[in-house]
């Protein structure tokens, strides 16, 4: 009888302790909460308006560095973000994709507008000077490099293939690797939107 009572006390204590502890969300992406980099940006959009995180307050922001002539990684990533928004239903309106071009030489405002329109007309593209893009990439720990092609004047851009995700308060929260899939992204965005 004493042993049974002691077992019940231990179970009750464990339950009470569990209730007191704050449970952390179980993200599928890498949790960067509290990171001391990639806190903000200031780059012009395709209309020349300088944008920063505060412009998207109240929305979860998925930020990706890429370029429009990318053969696979960029269109796949942008498609996954668009699909994740759809999977969220009405909450999809609380998600903002931001595409930062690492190829401002070829990615003119017109090209970027058309490219974003292929995925979601609400997606925002940012295009800074080569110096602005380099400074932002350094702050975000993003790699990119021009790779000369076989034909004169042709080139591709090697670049990091992951996205940064900010919560609706504008805080950096997640790093999602390329190819994680729309469902995993939607699940993580749903958790962030629930916190808001």
Strands 43-44 and 50-51: what pairing? antiparallel
Residue whose pair of structure tokens reads 């996954």 in the numeric block: 80
Is 159 assigned to a binding site?
yes
Is 74 assigned to a binding site?
yes
Is 20 assigned to a binding site?
no
The binding site comprises 70, 74, 159
The binding site for Cu cation comprises 70, 74, 159
């Amino acid at each position: 009888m004493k042993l049974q009572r002691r077992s019940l006390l231990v179970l009750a204590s464990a339950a009470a302790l569990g209730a007191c502890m704050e449970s952390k969300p179980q993200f599928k992406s890498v949790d960067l909460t509290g990171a001391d980099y990639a806190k903000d940006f200031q780059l012009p959009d395709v209309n020349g308006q300088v944008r920063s995180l505060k412009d998207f307050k109240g929305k979860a922001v998925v930020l990706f560095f890429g370029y429009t002539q990318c053969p696979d990684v960029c269109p796949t990533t942008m498609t996954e973000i668009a699909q994740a928004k759809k999977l969220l239903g009405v909450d999809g309106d609380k998600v903002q994709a931001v595409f930062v071009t690492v190829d401002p030489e070829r990615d003119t405002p017109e090209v970027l507008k058309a490219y974003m329109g292929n995925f979601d007309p609400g997606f925002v593209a940012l295009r800074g000077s080569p110096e602005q893009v380099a400074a932002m990439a350094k702050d975000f720990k993003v790699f990119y490099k021009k790779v000369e092609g076989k034909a004169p004047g042709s080139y591709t851009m090697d670049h990091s293939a992951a996205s940064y995700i900010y919560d609706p308060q504008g805080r950096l929260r997640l790093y999602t690797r390329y190819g994680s899939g729309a469902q995993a992204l939607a699940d993580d965005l749903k958790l962030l939107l629930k916190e808001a």
